[in-house]
Structure 1
Amino acid sequence: MTGEGRFSKAGFDRLRGVMAGHVERGDLPGLVMLVSRHGEAQVDAIGRLAFEGSSMTRDTIFRITSMTKPVTALAAMVLVEEGRLQLDDPVDRWLPELANRKVLLTMDAMVHQTVPARRPISLRDLLTFRCGYGIIPIFPERHPIQRAYAEAGLAPGPVFPSFQPDELMRRYGSLPLVFQPGERWLYNAGSEILGVLIARVAGTTFGEFLNERIFMPLGMKDTAFFAPKDKHHRFATAYMNDSAARQLKVFDPPVTGRFSNPPVFENGAAGLVSTADDFNAFAQMMLNGGSLGSARVLLPESVALMTTNQIVADEKRESQLFLGSTRGWGFGLSVFTGVDDPDAKLGRFGWDGGYGTSWYSDPQAQLTGILLTQRVMDSPKPPPVFTDFWTTLNEVAAD
């Protein structure tokens, strides 16, 4: 597969065959895959929107959940470029609920056993997930702070918080930090809080800011915090595994589900729906250093900062389940830092979504892969359909 243009038909057909196998075996009802090299995209839709539904199409809408995180990080960097936020300034001015933090003595301490935070939380802490809040990946839960998160309605799981932004911040403000600001990488909470911060600084809703500054300039016409009624006919049904029944069950339907109407909370960690072409516009903008066509949403220096690893190995030691040994973290996305994994291309950046989506871009090869499915992941570890997609894509890209 030589040359700098699109993949050969044989290579793309091979990838399609591997992906079709997962649908034929009933692992999931359908999927949309997109691969792009040097800006030339090839897309295929396989299977159905639901097991008994209509055929999957290129413009099918999926819940991209944690693929929302890089979009949120980019929005924060827009405000940094405008001088309305500074990376290392405290966020207390905009998020007074997070002022004067207390920090647990140890991860397994009682919630009241705390010391004062050594410094305030900064925007950089939120972007790099070192703000002191986040998921402790120990299951079943055994630490008092995990129980406190659950009681506050902030426990990890497939159903996300549904509070008004001010109430969400009040709940975070009621909890101590697990670690000192800047000390450890903990997943997820930074992006939830970032969405509230962006809305408060911008003086508008988070969704309106994203639409005006990112989605409209990039032509991402189907990306939003919900799928409106006139798009329900191409909104995929989400499924999750029912281990007791040994089959997939409907988790989120397209018409009456959680993503079918405007949400109470526009979740910067996991709230967006999108399509393959829409998200590819975002991916190509990132590969282009912040621009797509005549639209520029960010400067190249800001994109470079976002896509450069910002953490050291010791800072992620409690969260190896999410990043493993080959990945670090930039701003709102992972960055491959090692080559122990055959799928880990050094410098590749992107992230996955817990409802069954995956995106990574390789700046060296100018290669992007996007896989959209509607099967909720069983764990933070990549499911077989992800592994097969990336392994096969790497193989055919190297041919």
Structure 2
Amino acid sequence: MGGEGREKQGMSCERLARIERFLDENYIATGKLAGTVTQIWRRGELTLNSVLGFADRERQTPMAEDSIFRIYSMTKPVTSVAIMMLVETCGIALDDPVSKYIPQWEKLGVHAGGFMDSFQTRAPSRPMRVVDLLRHTSGLTYGFQQNTNVDAAYRKLKLGDIAAEGTLGEMIEKLATLPLEFSPGDAWNYSVSTDVLGYIVGKVSGMAFEDFLKEQIFDPLGMADTAFYVPDDKLSRFCACYAIGALGSKVVSAQGPALQDDPRVSTFRRPPALVSGGGGLVSTAADYMRFARMLLRGGELDGVRLLGPKTVQLMTANHLPGGVDLPRLSRSMFSEANYDGVGFGLGFATTINPSATLTPGSAGDFFWGGAASTFFWVDPREDLVVVFLTQLLPSTAHPVRRQLRTLVYSAITAGGA
């Protein structure tokens, strides 16, 4: 892809090559990442398709273009699209109270003190609405936030754990026994909200959530390798997953990242008990690129329309109350986004003030990532989609996402139109 001065769809070929070289020299050769697949789509063409390192370092299995990754929270945008498909058919409305679909949640209170089994609560200022689940203003949380007594209760009950033995329905029942962190709409907190959306998709559609995704999204888009588990005939393509030190820590052991999930014995080898719309999918770069390109094109790809353009515009606008960015509203100790200059829509983070982010980008670009350091973003102004898949927990281990954004935007030499 070489010579100085050559361009491909308004991107410098030399600078595109620099992206792969940077990842190889700084992450693969150093052992920080076992392998990566990076795809860049611009102006209707794949301008970079980089495959580096190992899918399974222990077995010396080379990474391949069709390697299958755990995409964890990159499942959330897929679930959000499913909900919005039901909104478009008027099966559900964004301002519906969640208790319309989960009646046992009608009396949920807000934490006012105490510990599990002795929580004190107060009434919320208003009911939780469907839009609160989409934008993480529901008052729900994740146990790994490790911030409050409510978080501790989530950990004890293993709520949000995709490897848990209980079903999604059982998780909904357990959540009915716990208070909210705050009154819906008062704050932003990364949470199990999107798992709850998956449950509602099943209730409204009359289909199992996983069947709805397959029949209404994956099959129409040709996402043949995206599912909630890896069948035996695809096992040879399933990546290992690694972790730095104790999970959630940035402490690196002398041996580097350790094997966290062996593909041969992984829980992803069988259909899960809890079908997690918040973090349960596996996918490939090619599959997720098709999903992201559908969003770039306003809900349509190759003659298949999942959403109308106005719905996609609604999803990717900032929906945080008051139009503020995340620092003004967030109580979350962790999410898959940096905060400054970033708002949140209906399933995606969205850039509202590029200069505040201190990284290149465009107002209106939208994105999300997964726990194993995966990342994608869509920039309609630049007619650009980037999908980055890898296999390292936690996603905060290295600044590779910020570096990738910088490298990609510095390769652009002409506007998106």
Report the TM-score, using the length of structure 2 for normalisation: 0.88
Asked whether the 8 Å contact 1:135–1:187 carries over to 2, the reply is yes
Match of 1:16 in 2: 20
Match of 1:80 in 2: 87
Distance 1:293 1:344 in 2: 27
Match of 1:113 in 2: 120
Match of 1:43 in 2: 49
Matches within 5 A, 1:1-399: 5=9, 7-21=11-25, 22-41=27-46, 42-51=48-57, 52-105=59-112, 112-135=119-142, 139=146, 141=147, 143-154=148-159, 161-242=164-245, 243=251, 245-246=253-254, 247-311=256-320, 312-313=324-325, 316-319=329-332, 321-322=334-335, 323-338=338-353, 339-340=355-356, 341-377=358-394, 379=396, 383-398=398-413
Distance 2:118 2:77 in 1: 31
- What SS class does the counterpart of residue 347 from structure 1 fall into? coil
Distance 2:226 2:86 in 1: 21
The amino acid across from 1:364 in the alignment is R
Residues 378 and 61 of structure 1: CA distance in aligned 2, closer, same or farther (over 3 Å): closer
Distance 2:294 2:35 in 1: 27
Asked whether the 8 Å contact 2:369–2:376 carries over to 1, the reply is yes
Displacement, 1:137?
7.5
Displacement, 1:106?
6.8
Displacement, 1:369?
1.1
The amino acid across from 2:52 in the alignment is I
Residues 161 and 310 of structure 1: CA distance in aligned 2, closer, same or farther (over 3 Å): farther
Displacement, 1:378?
5.4
Asked whether the 8 Å contact 1:107–1:178 carries over to 2, the reply is no
The amino acid across from 2:64 in the alignment is T
Displacement, 1:245?
3.8
Residues 325 and 385 of structure 1: CA distance in aligned 2, closer, same or farther (over 3 Å): closer
Q: How many residues align?
A: 393
Distance 2:360 2:333 in 1: 17
Distance 1:306 1:333 in 2: 8
Displacement, 1:267?
0.4
Report the TM-score, using the length of structure 1 for normalisation: 0.92
Asked whether the 8 Å contact 1:111–1:148 carries over to 2, the reply is no
Over residues 215-253 of structure 1, what are the superposed CA-to-partner deviations in whole Å (9 max), with x where a residue is unaligned?
A: 111111111111111111011100111247432211112
Displacement, 1:19?
1.0
Asked whether the 8 Å contact 2:240–2:261 carries over to 1, the reply is yes
Over residues 323-351 of structure 1, what are the superposed CA-to-partner deviations in whole Å (9 max), with x where a residue is unaligned?
A: 42121110111001122212343211010
Distance 1:284 1:367 in 2: 9
| Stretch of structure 1 that moved more, 198-207 or 115-124 | 115-124
Q: Runs of 4 or more off by more than 4 Å in structure 1? A: 1-4, 106-111, 136-139, 159-162
Distance 1:370 1:378 in 2: 15
Displacement, 1:392?
1.0
- What SS class does the counterpart of residue 166 from structure 1 fall into? helix
Displacement, 1:108?
9.6
| Stretch of structure 1 that moved more, 121-130 or 312-321 | 312-321
Query: Where does the alignment leave 5 or more consecutive residues of structure 1 unmatched?
Result: none
- What SS class does the counterpart of residue 236 from structure 2 fall into? helix
| Stretch of structure 1 that moved more, 123-132 or 105-114 | 105-114
Name the % identity.
32
Query: Where does the alignment leave 5 or more consecutive residues of structure 2 unmatched?
Result: 246-250
- What SS class does the counterpart of residue 388 from structure 1 fall into? helix
